[in-house]
């Protein structure tokens, strides 16, 4: 697998593009962000959503059995193509030459890696990596022209797409757009309340031309 990427331009489906573009416009208008800053902010929100959606493996590997007895398959950290089988009798607490116990072999050392991996590289765009990144397991690219800004966040874990649920890209895109709009609504509401308290009129002091309304169903 080649991994999975977030992109602000280039390969968005039409049904995703319009809502996110609207949110990016609001991000610039209400918060005064540049196009690049709006893209960075959106990618950070998308990564946070992807982290939440990523599946977490079981605490222990599945124990199987063949003619040599119980064993588990251990995969290389960055590839599912490199795998070796470790039998129970090979471990130190069962008379074997290995320096690890059966319990240690069964335990999935990097449990939760798929979740953590979505945060890697975000420090390059104003976010937090969350944990120490694995070298070569992520990439973040940025570019800008007078008319366009682009941020690409790529997760290069070999199994990352298997760790994500169906439709995850549409979900994180919608989530980012919704959060940006909610943040803008809250900011404008605070400004509105502040303006009213100062006696400047209901909308005095609001520099944005974006308006909102809320009501209970």
Q: Which residue has the higher pLDDT, 75 or 13?
A: 75
Nearest partner of 171 among 19, 38, 31, 28, judged by Cα: 19
Q: What's the confidence (pLDDT) of residue 57? A: 82
- Enter the pTM of the model: 0.71
Q: What's the confidence (pLDDT) of residue 203? A: 47
Q: What are phi and psi of 149, to 5 degrees?
A: -120, 145
Q: What's the confidence (pLDDT) of residue 146? A: 84
In sequence order, the 6+-apart residues with CB closer than 8 A to the CB of 93 are 101, 102, 103
* Rg, Å, the chain Cα set: 24
Q: Looking at residues 164-172, what average pLDDT do you find?
A: 92
């Amino acid at each position: 697998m080649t991994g999975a990427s977030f992109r602000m331009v280039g390969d968005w489906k039409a049904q995703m593009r319009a809502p996110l573009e609207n949110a990016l416009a609001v991000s610039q208008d209400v918060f005064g962000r540049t196009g690049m800053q709006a893209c960075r902010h959106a990618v950070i929100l998308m990564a946070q959503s992807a982290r939440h959606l990523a599946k977490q493996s079981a605490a222990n590997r599945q124990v199987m059995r063949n003619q040599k007895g119980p064993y588990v398959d251990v995969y290389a950290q960055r590839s599912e193509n490199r795998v070796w089988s470790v039998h129970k009798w090979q471990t130190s607490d069962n008379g074997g030459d290995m320096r690890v116990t059966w319990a240690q072999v069964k335990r999935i050392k990097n449990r939760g890696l798929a979740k953590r991996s979505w945060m890697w590289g975000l420090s390059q765009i104003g976010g937090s990596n969350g944990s120490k990144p694995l070298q070569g397991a992520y990439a973040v690219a940025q570019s800008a022209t007078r008319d366009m800004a682009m941020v690409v966040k790529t997760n290069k874990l070999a199994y990352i797409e298997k760790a994500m649920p169906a439709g995850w890209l549409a979900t994180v895109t919608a989530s980012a757009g919704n959060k940006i709009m909610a943040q803008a609504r809250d900011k404008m509401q605070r400004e509105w309340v502040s303006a009213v308290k100062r006696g400047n009129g209901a909308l005095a002091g609001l520099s944005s031309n974006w308006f909102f309304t809320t009501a209970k169903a």
